[in-house]
Amino acid sequence: MRNKERLKFLHQQFLSGNLSAKDLEELFDYFQTADEQILKQLISQELNLNEQDLPAAREEEIVLGRVHTRLKRHLKPEKQEQSIGRNIEIYRIMLAASVLICFCIGVYYSTQKHTITKVTTQTSLVDIKPGSAKALLKLDNGTKINLDDTHSGLVTQQGNVIVAKNGKGELIYQNKNKSMATSAVLFNEITTPRGGNYSITMSDGTFAMLDAQSSIKFPVNFTGNERLVEITGQVYFEVKHIYNQPFKVKVNGQVIEDLGTKFNINAYSDEPNLTTTLIEGSIRVSKETESVLLKPGEQAITDFNKGHILVQPVDVNEFIAWKNGEISFKNGTIEEIMRQVSRWYDVDVHYEGRLPARKFVGGISKNADLSNLLKILEFNNVHSKVVGKVITIKP
């Protein structure tokens, strides 16, 4: 397909929701090979048409919302064929889709001045690749096992608990003989580096996914009247509820107690607040003499300096986007975005000059190369220079 009229037609069908899966693939194929200026002009045209009828803030929300909705409608996992060839194709399309959404964001801000900035992002000859599943397992006796170097199957055995790596690359703890008494409590610790994440299922059946630069310390076999783990960084939990043995997470002097739950904790030391977001079930968040009970869709925010716990309703999808393979920057400043980038792409970020105070909307696939994200910033007149593993951001 190389006809501009055909491209316009497909783009209009895409935004109206009437595009077939086959035509959607054709549209994305074209975006991957077409001249960038044509793509920007088409999206800019769509925005300018809406500009006459909508305030600027609503314009952004509606256009981006329509694109995101269309992508989800056409790329529902349950409708994807399971063959290897088809999975590869869907993966490629989703990457293209993430870039398309980000292009919309960049063009939106550029069209506020009715101009489109030429992309001049400076990157190294070798693009910086995204992170992957990697972590270090530290056993109770001090032995360290590099999990990204281990193959599927048995990793180690501690007491009556078998530790194995499944086909998905996740670590599974399984109690070999629950009736066998444990003479001593053994602790393991899993740590992810910058540019790494990892998933584990503990011996009680609780699932935990660690984001980059995070850690979790936990007993190999849970005993006693509670199940207590300690974390740093960001960890998502799906807790196996046991009525007479509550699951508790200790982090930065705060304790989160599960009452049958899926929740996310962000406790990075370079973030201004410790946030606990409840997706499903119920949790109690406590610090010193203060305690709050969260309902699904609520978030507890604790200022690292003041310590007071604030509860507010949130869009939980924004806060577990990282777990679902996306770097989200909904209403995020450039500094907030780059903190995520630094952890996931294993890069250092420096700033020059006074940066714009604007906030961004949208997200990008965590499978995308770093240059895709830098293009978005360039569209918004936020320039960057990459030298080795250092990114310099400047106005």
| Domains of the chain, first to last | 4-128+330-394 (3.55.50.30), 148-319 (2.60.120.1440)
Higher pLDDT, 150 or 183: 150
Q: Residue 182 pLDDT > 60, yes or no?
A: no
> Which tens digits make up the pLDDT trace of 29-65?
665 444 445 545 555 554 454 444 444 444 444 444 5
Q: Could you give the CA distance from residue 245 to residue 300 in angstroms, rounded to a whole number?
A: 23
* Whole-number Å distance between alpha carbons of 89 and 169: 22
Mean pLDDT, rounded, for 225-254: 94
**pLDDT recorded at residue 356:** 72
Give the pLDDT band of residue 299 (cuts 50, 70, 90). very high
Q: Are strands 161-165 and 171-175 parallel, antiparallel or unpaired?
A: antiparallel
User: 282 Cβ partners below 8 Å, 6+ apart?
Assistant: 259, 260, 261, 293, 294, 295, 296
- pLDDT at 216 > cutoff 70: yes
List the one residue out of 27, 31, 17, 28 whose CA is nearest residue 74.
17
pLDDT at 43: 52
Instruction: Give the residue-averaged pLDDT of 135-154.
Output: 92
Selected residue with higher pLDDT from 142 and 23: 142
| Average model confidence (pLDDT) across the chain | 77
The rounded distance, in Å, linking the Cα atoms of 119 and 65 is 25
Of residues 358 and 271, more confidently modeled = 271
User: Is residue 180 very low, low, confident or very high in pLDDT (cuts 50, 70, 90)?
Assistant: low
Task: Pick from 75-79, 286-290, 361-365 the range whose average pLDDT is largest.
Answer: 286-290
In eight-state DSSP terms, residue 254 is E
Q: Is 44 helix (H, G, I), strand (E, B) or coil?
A: helix
Q: How confident is the model at residue 278 (pLDDT cuts 50, 70, 90)?
A: very high
Q: What is the mean pLDDT of residues 258-268?
A: 92
63-114 residue pLDDT tens: 445 554 555 554 444 444 444 344 434 444 444 444 444 444 443 443 333 3
For residues 293-315, average pLDDT: 89
Query: Which of these ranges, 110-124, 207-221, 269-283, 297-311, has the smallest mean pLDDT?
Result: 110-124
Q: Is the pLDDT of residue 241 over 80?
A: yes
Burial class (CB in 10 A: 0-12, 13-18, 19+), 17: exposed
Pick the range with the lowest mean pLDDT from 93-97, 133-137, 190-194, 298-302: 93-97
Confidence of residue 25 (pLDDT cuts 50, 70, 90): low
- pLDDT for 15: 58
Q: Is 376:101 a contact under the CB 8 Å cutoff?
A: no
Return the minimum-mean-pLDDT range out of 29-33, 79-83, 276-280, 349-353. Answer: 79-83
- The radius of gyration of the chain's CA atoms, rounded to the nearest angstrom, is 23
The two beta strands, 144-146 and 153-158, are unpaired
Average pLDDT over residues 375-387: 82
